[in-house]
Amino acid sequence: MADPSLPTVLVSTADRFVSAAADAIATRIANVIEARGRCRLVLAGGGTPRPIYEALVGREDVAWSAVDFFWGDERAVGPDHEQSNYRMAREALLDPLGVSDAHVFRIEGERSAAEACDAYAVTLGDSPLDVVLLGMGGDGHTASLFPGDPASVEMTAAVVVTLSPKPPAVRISLSLSTINAAKHVVLLVAGSGKAERLAQVWRELADGPQLPAARVRPTDGELLWLLDDAAAAALPQQVIP
């Protein structure tokens, strides 16, 4: 019997990864909408999600007008900055879908980090998020929760200000407590460069989490790892379906 505290792991070949991820994400969004009428979806930044967002644009099985869009993290930059997570999602997903601004809840990275953090906590409110998309960096960070940063293990605040080892250093991120309260958390990892770190994250699930990605353990929700075969290469064989 599978250990319910461990993630469900789905592995695809590199050429199928984007479509398989889009399928899994669209299914969860549609199921949430069917169950409660709307879906609070959290988008991830980085290079891995962009082609998945582009693939989601064509999904007619999702009632996109019933989706409210949030972000897992943002750099301390304006919305049109080339490194803005909001800008990437707007270009790849929101604009092609024609999403109304009334359903877009971005982190205001152009404000001071403390102000942006406090404002986003108010924006989120008290309701759990429905579907949270996350990536993982080569150092084991997720969202903008970085190894060794005390704010990355904060479990009381909803949103935290963190420091990245790469510029721009100042980030605003959902906290672990907010992420782990979600109903569905989807970790997207692709590429051989992340294989060893992902295997370390897997070991830490049993041995005691240290890396931020290993601390993502929904309290009463689903944790799904969507991987390509290169990223999954160092995982134990029994983990891979």
Q: What is the CATH number of domain 8-190+206-225?
A: 3.40.50.1360
194-209 residue pLDDT tens: 999 999 999 999 889 9
For 142, which DSSP code?
B
Residue-level pLDDT, tens digit, the chain, 241 residues: 345 568 999 999 999 999 999 999 999 999 999 999 999 999 999 999 999 999 999 899 999 999 999 999 999 999 999 999 999 999 999 999 999 999 999 999 999 999 999 999 999 999 999 999 999 999 999 999 999 999 998 888 999 999 999 999 999 999 999 999 999 999 999 999 999 999 999 999 988 999 999 999 999 999 999 999 999 999 998 887 7
The runs of H, that is alpha helices, within 125-180 are 176-180
What would the DSSP string read from start to end of 41-102? EEE--STTHHHHHHHHTT-TTS-GGGEEEEESEEESS-TTSTT-HHHHHIIIIIHHHT--GG
How far apart (Å, rounded) are the C-alpha atoms in residues 188 and 44? 9
CB hemisphere CA count around 125 (13 angstroms)? 6
pLDDT of residue 48: 96
